[in-house]
């Protein structure tokens, strides 16, 4: 607040003036009040635009058949008569599902925008800069809604009919992260104290943002509550060993949120074990279990280092050898082989993504496929954008974008299936312990807000990289 007289920007009179942080101009008290009223009116305009756009979203949700591409499909169906009716329905469902996903994504962004608008209204601390940001965000989202770039029609000429296909490009929007991470677990040097980690591997973030960590060299599983300064041991922690209450270099875990049972890849003991209320059970024995995954149907997937394969078991039925879903043809670099399969991810279609470490690539094996396809790397070991070096953690989002912990390159990359190159989203600033550096990243996980968590193996910490909306 000023304490001497200066020229008011509005009335141009020499008065006691007060600054506006947004426009950096000085106003007398009367004109400052008027200036704030104008800002409030402009905020109301933004709110009105938001409400109108929200109404358009609701109309689209209620009438998904009004999509322009759906109309093209209907016209094609009529001309092609009964020969293509079955396929036309298949395309409709595919398009509506993708359109619904797009709408859900836009609604999520609108909800975040609404929170910011409400915050400005409640706190009454906003300026021209804030309003410009809000206005720009509404325009960006409206443009995305009006001109979705992830859908198009591809037409191929045939002898009797012109068959069409739905092309869904894997284009991300609003998916960037702050480059300086926040240490949310460990980070206090290598050790076995409750505020320390020793080579963290697989990680998992639950809906409450609690972090579950396979603390590899401490032979334990620890849970770090949200914003906690130290973790708590929930499995193992009784020194290295093969007794039922011990673990030996655990590499990965799955947490059942309903009963909080934990399934653990007990790598050093060559077994997969389940802990429930401190009671242990061996689920699978005599397996070089590196990593775990579970699909929406409750099938358990385990990668086997020694056999260079991934097997699947139905949850609760482990009295067999499981089913091979990737690899299983010996160690090698052919499309039906793997070489040290590591982290795995299973999508909605039960396609299995595998970090093929020694081949410096990520492979995708569709359900019941006899061989996989390369979806990241596969161009030899290196640090170019079309290469990986000992890839580790892999996660695939709803758009089919593949996130890879590129271990020896100390970076996190994002790849789109079918693209020749990936992009660096985190790290890539050399090996180190600074907030914008990584040291052999290994485990990856996202929380419900899209924040990215990285098990920073060489730095004995888990770092959180916040999403930028």
Query: Beta strand pairing status for 309-314 and 162-168?
Result: unpaired
Q: Are 91 and 75 in contact (CB under 8 A)?
A: no
What pLDDT is attached to residue 150?
61
Query: Is pLDDT larger for residue 384 or for residue 153?
Result: 384
Tokens for 349, please give them: 């279609």
For residue 165, name the pLDDT band (cuts at 50, 70, 90).
low
Give the closest residue to 133 by CA, choosing from 145, 146, 122, 119.
119
pLDDT tens digits for 65-109?
777 677 778 877 787 766 666 776 777 787 887 778 788 888 888
Is the pLDDT at 144 greater than 50? The verdict is: yes
Is the pLDDT at 149 greater than 90? The verdict is: no
Q: What is the CA radius of gyration of the chain?
A: 27
What pLDDT is attached to residue 1?
42
Average pLDDT over residues 123-132: 82
Most confident among 30-44, 165-179, 206-220, 315-329 (mean pLDDT): 206-220
Average pLDDT over residues 120-137: 83
Average pLDDT over residues 104-127: 83
Is the pLDDT at 156 greater than 90? The verdict is: no
Q: Cα–chain-centroid distance for residue 306?
A: 29
- Judged by DSSP in three states, 187 sits in coil
Q: Are 338 and 308 in contact (CB under 8 A)?
A: yes
Average pLDDT over residues 455-466: 96
Q: What is the sign of the dihedral through the CA atoms of 235, 347, 290 and 177?
A: negative
Q: Are 222 and 215 in contact (CB under 8 A)?
A: yes
The count of C-alpha atoms lying within 13 angstroms of the C-alpha of 63, restricted to the half-sphere facing its C-beta, is: 8
E strand or H helix that includes residue 154: strand 151-157
The count of C-alpha atoms lying within 13 angstroms of the C-alpha of 366, restricted to the half-sphere facing its C-beta, is: 3
What pLDDT is attached to residue 78?
80
pLDDT tens digits for 263-299?
999 999 999 999 998 789 999 999 999 999 999 888 9
Is the pLDDT at 394 greater than 90? The verdict is: yes
Most confident among 93-107, 109-123, 305-319 (mean pLDDT): 305-319
Is the pLDDT at 2 greater than 70? The verdict is: no
CB atoms within 10 A of CB 155: 11
The Cα 206–Cα 225 span in angstroms is: 10
The Cα 390–Cα 362 span in angstroms is: 10
For residue 424, name the pLDDT band (cuts at 50, 70, 90).
very high
Quote the CATH superfamily of domain 176-468: TolB, C-terminal domain (2.120.10.30)
Tokens for 431, please give them: 């090996």
What pLDDT is attached to residue 161?
66
- For the chain, first and last CA: distance in Å? 33
Average pLDDT over residues 152-157: 64
What pLDDT is attached to residue 95?
80
321 to 100, 269, 273, 302: CA distances (angstroms): 39, 18, 16, 11
Q: Are 324 and 313 in contact (CB under 8 A)?
A: no
pLDDT tens digits for 17-70?
999 888 888 999 999 999 999 889 889 888 988 888 888 788 778 887 777 677
Average pLDDT over residues 111-135: 83
Question: What percent of the chain clears pLDDT 90, i.e. is strictly above it?
Answer: 57
The Cα 231–Cα 15 span in angstroms is: 59
Is the pLDDT at 158 greater than 60? The verdict is: no
Judged by average pLDDT, the poorest of 168-182, 273-287, 407-421 is 168-182
The C-alpha torsion from 36 through 38 and 40 to 45, rounded to 10°, is: -160
What pLDDT is attached to residue 134?
83
List of residues 6+ apart from 113 with CB closer than 8 A: 50, 134, 137, 138, 141
pLDDT tens digits for 333-351?
999 999 999 999 999 999 9
What pLDDT is attached to residue 376?
96
Biggest CA–CA distance in the chain, Å, is 89
The Cα 103–Cα 449 span in angstroms is: 17
Q: Mean of the per-residue pLDDT values for the chain?
A: 88
290 to 387, 390, 412: CA distances (angstroms): 23, 14, 20
The Cα 418–Cα 421 span in angstroms is: 9
Q: Cα–chain-centroid distance for residue 322?
A: 29
Query: Is pLDDT larger for residue 249 or for residue 117?
Result: 249
If phi over 0 gives left and psi between -120 and 50 gives alpha, with beta otherwise, what is residue 114?
alpha
The Cα 5–Cα 3 span in angstroms is: 7
E strand or H helix that includes residue 461: strand 461-465
CB atoms within 10 A of CB 429: 14
Q: Are 110 and 57 in contact (CB under 8 A)?
A: yes
Give the closest residue to 219 by CA, choosing from 203, 241, 196, 202.
241
Is the pLDDT at 151 greater than 70? The verdict is: no
Is the pLDDT at 143 greater than 60? The verdict is: yes
Q: Are 342 and 362 in contact (CB under 8 A)?
A: no
């Amino acid at each position: 607040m000023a304490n001497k007289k200066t020229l008011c920007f509005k009335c141009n009179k020499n008065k006691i003036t007060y600054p506006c942080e947004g426009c950096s101009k000085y106003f007398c008290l009367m004109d400052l009040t008027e200036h704030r009223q104008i800002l409030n009116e402009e905020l109301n305009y933004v709110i009105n635009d938001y409400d109108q756009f929200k109404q358009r979203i609701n109309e689209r949700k209620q009438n998904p058949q009004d999509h322009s591409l759906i109309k093209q499909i209907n016209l094609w169906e009529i001309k092609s008569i009964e020969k293509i009716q079955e396929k036309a329905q298949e395309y409709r469902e595919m398009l509506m599902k993708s359109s619904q996903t797009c709408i859900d994504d836009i609604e999520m962004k609108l909800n975040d925008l609404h929170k910011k608008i409400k915050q400005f209204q409640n706190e009454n601390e906003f300026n021209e800069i804030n309003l410009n940001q809000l206005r720009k965000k509404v325009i960006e989202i409206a443009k995305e809604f009006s001109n979705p770039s992830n859908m198009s029609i591809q037409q191929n000429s045939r002898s009797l009919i012109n068959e069409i296909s739905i092309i869904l490009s894997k284009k991300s929007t609003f998916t960037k992260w702050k480059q300086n991470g926040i240490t949310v677990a460990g980070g206090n040097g290598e050790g076995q104290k409750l505020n320390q980690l020793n080579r963290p591997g697989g990680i998992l973030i639950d809906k409450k943002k609690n972090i579950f960590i396979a603390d590899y060299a401490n032979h334990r599983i620890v849970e770090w509550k949200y914003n906690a300064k130290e973790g708590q041991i929930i499995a193992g922690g009784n020194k290295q060993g093969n007794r039922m209450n011990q673990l030996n270099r655990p590499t990965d875990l799955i947490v059942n949120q309903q009963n909080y049972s934990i399934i653990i890849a007990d790598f050093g003991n060559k077994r997969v074990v389940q802990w429930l209320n401190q009671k242990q059970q061996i689920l699978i024995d005599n397996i070089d279990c590196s990593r775990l995954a579970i699909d929406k149907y409750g099938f358990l997937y385990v990668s086997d280092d020694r056999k260079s394969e991934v097997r699947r078991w139905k949850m609760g039925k482990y009295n067999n050898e499981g089913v091979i879903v990737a690899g299983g043809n010996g160690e090698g670099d052919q499309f039906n082989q793997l070489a040290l399969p590591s982290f795995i991810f299973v999508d909605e279609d039960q396609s299995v993504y595998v970090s093929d470490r020694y081949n410096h690539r990520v492979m995708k094996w569709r359900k019941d496929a006899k061989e996989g396809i390369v979806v990241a790397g596969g161009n030899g070991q290196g640090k170019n954008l079309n290469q990986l070096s000992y890839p580790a953690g892999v996660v695939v989002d709803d758009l089919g974008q593949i996130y890879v912990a590129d271990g020896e390159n100390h970076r996190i990359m994002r790849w789109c299936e079918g693209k020749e190159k990936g992009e660096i989203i985190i790290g890539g600033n050399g090996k180190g312990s600074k907030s914008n550096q990584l040291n052999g990243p290994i485990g990856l996980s996202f929380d419900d807000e899209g924040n990215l968590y990285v098990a920073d193996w060489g730095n004995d910490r888990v770092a959180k990289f916040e999403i930028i909306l």
